[in-house]
Amino acid sequence: MAIEIREVARHRNGVAGLPFYVVLFNDTDAGMFNQLAMIDEDGKDCRVINAGLVVTGGHIGQQIGMNTWRGDCYLSDIHDAMADDDQWDTWFRRIFKQEDI
């Protein structure tokens, strides 16, 4: 996979909810754009959905094989893409090194 990180943000479920990270990325090898990864606060669990498929086709996974991605596989690729690009160093350290920056 060739991962191209486009944007990263930290969110929380409500005022007192658990925080999580969101990574918008492209998987250019697979020709998949607007992939959205939700990574738990500890950087060890990841869920992925293609936001483009939701917006253009309304596909949230209701059809077998439609908009279903291996978050566990993408997690290591997102990790490596962030580690290899200084632009994402602060986010890499927050998500995967648990540093409070």
Whether residue 101 lies inside any domain: the answer is no
pLDDT in tens, 25-55: 999 998 889 999 999 999 999 999 888 777 7
Is the residue at 44 inside a domain? yes
Which structural domain range is residue 60 located in?
3-96
Structural domain contains residue 65:
yes
Residue 1 has pLDDT above 80, yes or no: no
Number of domains observed in the structure of the chain: 1
What's the whole-model pTM score? 0.87
Domain assignment present for residue 91? The answer is yes
Handedness of CA 93, 88, 24, 73 (dihedral sign): negative
Q: What is the DSSP letter of 87?
A: G
Mean pLDDT of the chain: 89
Contacts for 27-33 with beta carbons within 8 Å, 24 or more apart? 27/1, 27/2, 27/3, 27/74, 27/77, 28/2, 28/3, 28/4, 29/1, 29/2, 30/1
Residue 60, in any domain of the structure: yes
pLDDT, average across residues 17-24? 94
